[in-house]
Amino acid sequence: MGNLCSLFAPPKPVKKRRPIKKRQPSLSGSGSGPNTNRLNRFRSSSSNKFDDAVTQEQALAAAAILSRQQKSGGSLPFERSASQRHPVSGSKKNQLPRSSSTRSRSSTDPLLQPHQFLNQGVKLDDLETNHFILIHGGGFGAWCWYKTIALLEEDGFKVTAIDLAGCGINSFNINGIASLSQYVKPLTDILEKLPIGEKVILVGHDFGGACISYAMELFPSKISKAVFLAAAMLTNGQSTLDMFSLQAGPNDLMRKAQIFIYTNGNEHPPTAIDLDKSLIRDLLFNQSPSKDIALASVSMKSIPFAPVLEKLSLSDGNYGSVRRYYIETLEDNAIPVTLQENMINSSPPEKVYRLKGADHAPFFSKPQALHKLLLEIARNIRPT
């Protein structure tokens, strides 16, 4: 999957320090003085280095646990967080903790306490559905939602994250995918098996927006709401390639990062698209923690080309009957805000939210803020 070293900045040169003269220890016992300050700085530096190493190991461990979990329990969805598992209990003593992620909280992140959603006077039983289905974007997999899964489950929601065909640990050959229906079959299989009367909230990221649109046309009665997260929200007769062609000229970062794969020979259309690993940090993760970039670097796969070319057939009676929401990512280099707003203006959703400071992977760069918006959307009743 490429050299991880290309994703990180080179270490800064270490300056030589002058020898420190020994001083008599302070006798005041107050904890102040130059020796104490120097000791505190040393402890802080050591702690930061330790935290960085631990958090990176946690991210990679999450991917490994998720892989083992899916292999042992089935090929597609999983319904518990890969980052941390705890027994559910009704007592306050055993309430679920927050996500095991140790990312430093940003000053712009909402301060959500465990079960705050329930404490706001909104009961899960009063909602049309408490089941989220998360659909990843091109090249990603179910693994990318590990923070979102943990946060939603801690508020009592049921969460299913899916590996689309050839993605994550799904073993289908990416280069053999010839249609959008083939690519999204793991999603349509789940929707088809839902009991009569049961509904879900679909969340689609990036190319996952086209995937949930396809599902909305097929199963409108089983979808309560659809959330487009920095996603391709297309109109009838439009393909994802049509949408991306509206971007800037040939020198934009997305075009530079694309590497086309021709499994059937150069005289035939590409079968898949790879992304240059040396550019994905700037393209997808310009605001994300290093530990999550490391996870993505060893987990991302190729994007099948045929589904990107396919024009969607969307009707007002089916696709148009599902309530749609769009979440803009304001620091996005893959799908810039201007392109997101172009899609919104072409087919206005019920409501638009904006995530300040979020790159193209808000589940990494702004997990708490994204979680808050998903809760708000879940409890949003249909306007009268």
Respond yes or no: is residue 360 known to be catalytic: yes
Selected catalytic residue, list 131, 136, 360, 371: 360
From the candidates 292, 332, 359, 371, which is the catalytic residue?
A: 332
Catalytic residue among 155, 163, 206, 292: 206
Instruction: Give the sheet arrangement for strand 272-275, strand by strand.
Output: 258-261, 272-275, 303-304
Select from 383, 362, 348, 80 the least CA-distant residue to 203: 362
Residue 206 bears catalytic tag: yes
CB distance 203 to 136 below 8 Å: no
Length of the chain equals: 384
Residue 353 pairs with which residues in a beta bridge? 327
Tokens read off for 261? 């794969």
Count of Cβ atoms closer than 10 Å to residue 380 Cβ: 15
Q: Phi then psi for 246, rounded to 5 degrees?
A: -80, -5
Measured CA distances, 369 to 35, 351, 356, 363, 376 (Å): 41, 17, 9, 9, 11
DSSP three-state, residue 202? strand
The answer to whether residue 136 is catalytic is no
Beta-bridged to residue 274, according to DSSP, are 259
Alpha helices in the chain (DSSP H): 34-73, 116-119, 146-154, 180-183, 185-193, 208-218, 240-244, 253-257, 280-284, 290-299, 305-309, 337-346, 362-365, 367-378
User: Residue 186 gets which letter from DSSP?
Assistant: H
DSSP of 29-60, one letter per residue?
Answer: -SS-SHHHHHHHHHHHHHHHHHHHHHHHHHHH
**Any idea which residue has 């030589």 for tokens?**
16
Q: Give the residue numbers marked as catalytic.
A: 206, 332, 360
